[in-house]
Amino acid sequence: MPTTSTMDASTPPLDSFTDDNTPTTSSMNSTNTLFPLPPSHFLSQPRPSGIASPSSSNNVGVDTTTLAAHDFDVDPRTGFMPPHPPIARLGGVGGVGGENGENGEYGKYGMYEAWEGILDEACAGAFRLGRDIGTETGGKEERWRGRVRELPILSITPLLDSEPHLRRAHHVLAWILHFYIHTHQSGSGSEEEEVRIPPPITLPLLRVSREMHLPPLLTYSDDVLYNWAFTDPQNSESLRVLTSFTSTPDESHFYLTSARIELIGVRALGLMQYSLDELFVGDGIARKRITGFLGELAGVIGEMEGELGRMYGGCDVGVFYEEIRPWFQGESEEKRWVFEGIEGDPELEYPKELGGPSAGQSSLIHALDIFLGVEHQHHTSDTDPDSSFLSRMQLYMPRHHRNFLSHLREQSRRRSLRAWVLESQHDYNDSANPVPDTPLLNAYNSAVTALKKFRDAHIVLVARYIIGPAARARANEGQSQSDDSNRECQSDGKECESESEGKSNSNSKESNAEGERESETQVLKGTGGTHLARFLKSVRDNTRDAVIQ
């Protein structure tokens, strides 16, 4: 079973907002439980049928058929996290909303116990990655894969009236998919190979993904946003993960660190909302209020950076790189995914986005970029495959969150915070603003700088957990050529580490010294598919460039 990891008391609880949606830095008593969803909440409403694929839904208008068009599934107490625990089991055992009823032992969702059971086996099985199985035959992984192929092809019709149940279905099927893909034993001597995904997984996963406007594989929402439960229902700060590949505390800590950052970011969303409200007024009082909000926002982003740094305390570098990260990988040129049975359903499209979960799929960070006016696209060539990475990552977000970002982007086009701050420095002839608004400028720059420091910290983390171990692994294989962009990222990473941690030792120096070297013949990519070091450095530099001089 997945290991329990408890969120510490410094983390804002899931009900850390007051009823009038005003942010507060003081948490409510830990014995408070989450409020039940009111009948007016969009998750309580009938759900419209999916009408577009993820690739075609990126630019569609806001869905007005449910109340999601009003709140974009962004809760004032929990942000992009759901306001109460995700469904833990489609059949109802250990979950919500699937109680026993007239339609069988587990109600109308009882037939999905077949999926839940096969996932239980994988999670409890301590499965090995295909690369570690070698040529062994008849192992537990192979037997499990055989049972997956023998599953019935289940209809998703009973799920269509419930967004939470569709979320759980995507979660379960995507985790089964990754277990199935990555327990595949590689063929001997073949540089390129195919992994064939059987129809019992292909067809329901593609159909659920079509309804959800999501790619048919693990996303950030599957392993962070909708992958938690309470260890104690009376304590809203006590969380554990629902599903993991390794059942290690390291993996649980990895997911819950991201969840804690999302919860800290709830206050950032509130401050952005208040700032935008004042921005449309734009008078002297609004300037003072926005100055205060931006100062608070810098502090919240600083707390997010601090939470990111706590990753080191609970997730071992070796365990993450060798045992956890390989399970996240999406399709690659070396390992193509073949979805069997898709040709039998003319309504299904062959997947184009199979990049795997990534922190780049966090709507919170995208929202901060949009609000602060941090531009990424103009710094790279349109022909560069990394240039549209952040835009592509929005295809992996829940569609209502995607619509939220579109709405925020449209608001920013109409009234840009950054442009307004710039204008405030030049309106000297306005009797209401006879001098440059230095406090406003400083507050804006402090928020942008805080976001840049957050990205500095992320570069250090990636250097420690991914790029360094990858470089050492290649060195052990006799590959020693280096890549200039990674060495530059490495240099930045060392500087950030020195500033943020104020310490060094021989191990960390060795990790960083090797951390950004990358073979010219083997480009290291993130789980989302981007050139890892180059992308991270570019995004960080774009954030730095948003500071107004």
CA distance 50 to 213: 7
Dist. CA 413–CA 46, nearest whole Å: 33
Task: Say which residues have a Cβ less than 8 Å from residue 199's Cβ, sequence separation at least 6.
Answer: 153, 340, 341, 344
Q: If residue 337 lies in a helix (H) or strand (E), which one and from where to where? A: strand 335-339
Question: Does 407 show up as a binding residue in the annotation?
Answer: no
* 242: Cα within 13 Å, side-chain hemisphere: 25
How far is 96 from 94, CA to CA, in rounded Å?
7
Kindly tell me the sign of the dihedral angle through the C-alpha atoms of 21, 25, 26, 30: positive
Coil, helix or strand at residue 140: helix
As beta bridge partners, residue 531 has: 525
- Quick one: DSSP state of residue 328? G
Q: CA 96, CA 394: separation in Å to the nearest integer?
A: 29
Alpha-carbon distance 73 to 258, whole Å?
Answer: 19
CB 548 within 8 A of CB 421: yes
Instruction: State the Cα–Cα distance between residues 263 and 267, nearest whole angstrom.
Output: 8
CA–CA dist 465, 314 (Å, integer): 13
Identify whether the C-beta of residue 203 lies closer than 8 Å to the C-beta of residue 153: yes
Cα distances (Å, whole numbers) of residue 226 to 90, 168, 497: 13, 8, 31
- Read out DSSP for 295-319? HHHHHHHHHHHHHHHGGGGTS-HHH
Based on the number of CB atoms within 10 Å of its own CB, is 129 exposed (0-12), middle (13-18) or buried (19 or more)? middle
> Which residues are known binding-site members for heme b?
458
> Which residues are known binding-site members?
458
